[in-house]
Amino acid sequence: MKYISIILIISSLLFSGCAQKNQDLPVKEDEYASTKQGAVMGAFIGAIIGMMAKGKHKNQNAALGAVLGAGIGSAIGYSVDNQAKQIAKELNTKVDNKPEALTNPDNDLVISNTDKYVKIMLRDKMMFKTNSSIPTQEASLKLDKITNVLRKYPDTIIQVVGFTDSRGTYEYNQKLSEQRAKNIGNRIYNSGIENLIYSKGCSYNKPLIANKTKEDMAINRRVEIYLYPNQQSIVDACKAQ
């Protein structure tokens, strides 16, 4: 029981620490990056636990702990990778981790992933009519496809986040972004899945590009759906990662 508590404490510290550290790293283009990083973290945890064991087989315990820990970490990373690929397939697209994919005006839908989460970016022009917070029929169909995948992952935590451009007051845009995120979250919730779902509005915080032209503003108006494997992976979506 003592070792289980130690494992949980070390895991929590490593994952939360990694979440802070990785905010400054570029998005990885290796589609298996999160699986690899999960294995490394898991191996490190396992090795520490093994070394803490008493007796003459201390070194063997450390090696065995590293192997078992790597398996646990790989499973977490693989879950993130796998969800991203399955959702991309369901929506007839591919996982695209290149930063420029988000600022390409031709991309109304971008699916990406890091070692901490899957992110589904959906442009407002596809999701809502002008000045409306009610999802369009096209948006509802895409959300149905997303929830079809999430039924396989009931432990995945869902966070829906709304973003606006800079026209109007901050308060007006905050309410609009919150309402849009809430309506999308309710649409997912009403599909009957068991996942925890949260919604959040970010007003015109964290623009993808400067709000200089109408075209730029259209790029910044979006909804982002984050899929987290655990509580330790949750980030502040209103701030740059």
Which parts of 66-201 are beta strand (E)?
Answer: 109-113, 118-123, 157-163, 197-201
The amino acid sitting at 233 is S
- Per-residue pLDDT at 56: 53
For 100, the 3-state DSSP assignment is: helix
Question: Do 63 and 84 have their domain in common?
Answer: no
Question: Do 59 and 94 have their domain in common?
Answer: no
Q: Which domain holds residue 61?
A: 34-72
Domain boundary among 21, 45, 72: 72
- Per-residue pLDDT at 79: 82
Chain segment 74-94, per-residue pLDDT in tens: 455 668 899 999 999 999 999
| CA dihedral sign of residues 98, 99, 105, 109 | positive
pLDDT by residue for the chain (241 residues), tens only, comes to 555 454 444 444 444 433 333 223 232 233 333 444 444 455 444 554 555 555 555 555 545 454 444 444 445 566 889 999 999 999 999 999 999 999 999 999 999 999 899 999 999 988 988 778 889 998 999 999 999 999 999 999 999 999 999 999 999 999 999 999 999 999 999 999 999 999 999 999 999 999 999 999 999 999 999 999 999 999 999 987 6
CA angle 9, 14, 18 (to 5 degrees): 150
- For residue 24, is it within any domain? no
- Per-residue pLDDT at 240: 76
Tally the domains of the chain.
2
Cβ(10)–Cβ(49) under 8 Å? yes
Quick one: what percent of the chain has pLDDT higher than 90?
59
Please state the separation of Cα 138 from the chain's center in Å.
23
- For residue 203, is it within any domain? yes
Question: Do 63 and 122 have their domain in common?
Answer: no
Domain boundary among 18, 51, 72: 72
Question: Do 55 and 106 have their domain in common?
Answer: no
- For residue 241, is it within any domain? no
Give the Cα separation of 59 and 55 in Å (integer).
Answer: 9
CA angle 191, 194, 199 (to 5 degrees): 75
- For residue 14, is it within any domain? no
Question: Do 40 and 137 have their domain in common?
Answer: no
- For residue 46, is it within any domain? yes
Domain boundary among 72, 98, 121: 72
Cβ(203)–Cβ(222) under 8 Å? no
Distances (CA, A) of 141 to 93, 166, 176, 239: 15, 29, 22, 29
Question: Do 123 and 155 have their domain in common?
Answer: yes
Give the Cα separation of 91 and 94 in Å (integer).
Answer: 8
- Per-residue pLDDT at 221: 95
